[in-house]
Amino acid sequence: MLSVEPDFCLPLAAGGRTGLLLAGAGGLLNDLADVKLAPAGIDGREYSILAILKADSPGSQLEISRLLGKAPALVVAAIDDLEARGLVARTRDPADRRRSRVTITAAGAKALDEGDKLADALVVELFPGLDAGEIQQLQDLLAKGLSLGLPDWARAS
């Protein structure tokens, strides 16, 4: 009898170690994201940025940088790319002309929607041993356990 070999796997050592399991799953996800999201026309980082624009309403690019946990220079370059492709728009904040308000365009929202579908499919593919209900359980535990959103003291204005 022919058994289907798993495409992605983690060492047995991860079995009893929550840290290795999480870091491993996250690493696999990051490695695969760029390829799997390609049909949506965005890479993993751009997907994260679009999602942040929609859900977190950041008041400046610096705030995006903090939410993303990456250096500002990186975000600037990424937003440059997204803007050139019409997925986001930059407008100066009239109240403080140093700040760039970044907003998601209709094209950007469409790319984000496609990205969401592809990302969900990737998660399903990564967890061959879980059914839909268990994946939902996993998501609920993560969302409940982690601190989401920037603390007020780190928010612009």
Pick 23 or 121: Cβ nearer DNA: 23
Spatial distance between the Cα atoms of 47 and 38, rounded to a whole number of angstroms: 10
Pick 101 or 110: Cβ nearer DNA: 101
Asked if 115 and 42 count as a contact pair (C-beta separation under 8 A), the reply is: yes
Phi, psi of 100 (to 5 degrees): -100, 120
What residues numbered 74-113 form the site for a second copy, per CB under 8 A?
none
27 is a contact residue toward a second copy (CB under 8 A) = yes
Q: Among 157, 152, 47, 48, which Cα is nearest to 101's?
A: 157
The angle formed by the CA atoms of residues 106, 110 and 113, to the nearest 5 degrees, is: 140
133 is a contact residue toward a second copy (CB under 8 A) = no
76 is a contact residue toward DNA (CB under 7 A) = yes
What residues numbered 53-72 form the site for DNA, per CB under 7 A?
60-63, 70-72
Instruction: Give SS3 for 57.
Output: coil
96 is a contact residue toward DNA (CB under 7 A) = yes
C-alpha separations of 64 from 32, 49, 72, 101 in Å: 23, 7, 8, 11
117 is a contact residue toward DNA (CB under 7 A) = no
Task: Give the binding site for a second copy (CB under 8 A).
Answer: 5-6, 8-31, 33, 44, 48, 51-52, 54-56, 67-69, 116, 119-120, 122-123, 126-130, 134-135, 137-139, 141-151, 153
